Amino acid sequence: MMKLSGKVALVTGGNSGIGLAVARRFAEEGARVFITGRREAQLAEAVALIGGQVEAIQGDITRTDDLTRLFRTLGTRAGRLDILVNASGVSEPASLEETTEEHIDRAFNLNVRAMVLTVQHAVRLMGEGGSIVLVGSVAGAIANPGYGSYSASKAAVRSYARTWNSELAPRGIRVNTLSPGPTDTPMFDQASDEVRQTLTARIPAKRLGNPDEVAAAALFLASDESSYISGTELVIDGGMIA
């Protein structure tokens, strides 16, 4: 039996990387999946790749009007939401000396502010049994030279998840954080060979993760198999922070 039969899921950032892998796995497990992202062409490619019960709603979740339209459309088409995976994110390197106001704003606007407002909208469509999976990062728990703003934004994701776990438990909605280590996605393409080699050397498994491995963990947290798990952080990092 498929693990998400009859479920309605929304995956932000579902047009590439981890979000795309999650959306594809959810569709394979029987969910009706909605994906959102800024790039229309990339969304169309994702829909063609995933097939099945997947629909794309174009929009930029950092924009209030787009976010309102996203959930209005979702409500009209599906009437409810069972699963939210917030996989949208940005990672830009900058040392302390290089950090600018604009750099901080870009990191926190998408990784934190947009996430908070997305969850705020999502819970209005959720009932008992709802599952929220926030994609964080091991960067939020370890020193990550050159990525201070990104790391701090991902630490905020974990903190929000713990608070929302307590706030939403009375409504039967679970909230968990999924924290990958270095994963071979388009976001990681901007890293230099030196950075990739340095990070790989720190991983006991001696390789980067792949999006499908993260998607498998997201499936567990989204499904009823994790019905007694909430407020936790599931780390998928090949043993890096251990």
- C-alpha count within 13 angstroms, C-beta hemisphere, residue 9: 37
In whole angstroms, what separates CA 38 from the centre of its chain? 15
Q: List the Cα angle 98/179/208 in 5-degree steps.
A: 80
Residue 89, classed as helix, strand or coil, is: coil
CB atoms within 10 A of CB 163: 11
How many Å apart are CA 157 and CA 134, to the nearest integer? 7
CA torsion, points 214, 169, 68, 61, in degrees to nearest 10? Answer: -30
What is the identity of the amino acid at 32? R
Token digits for 197? 């080699």
In order, the DSSP letters of 154-195 are HHHHHHHHHHHHHHHGGGT-EEEEEEE-SB-SGGGGGS-HHH
Contact 35, 53 (CB under 8 A): no
Q: How far apart are CA 87 and CA 68, in angstroms?
A: 18
Residues with a catalytic annotation lie at 150
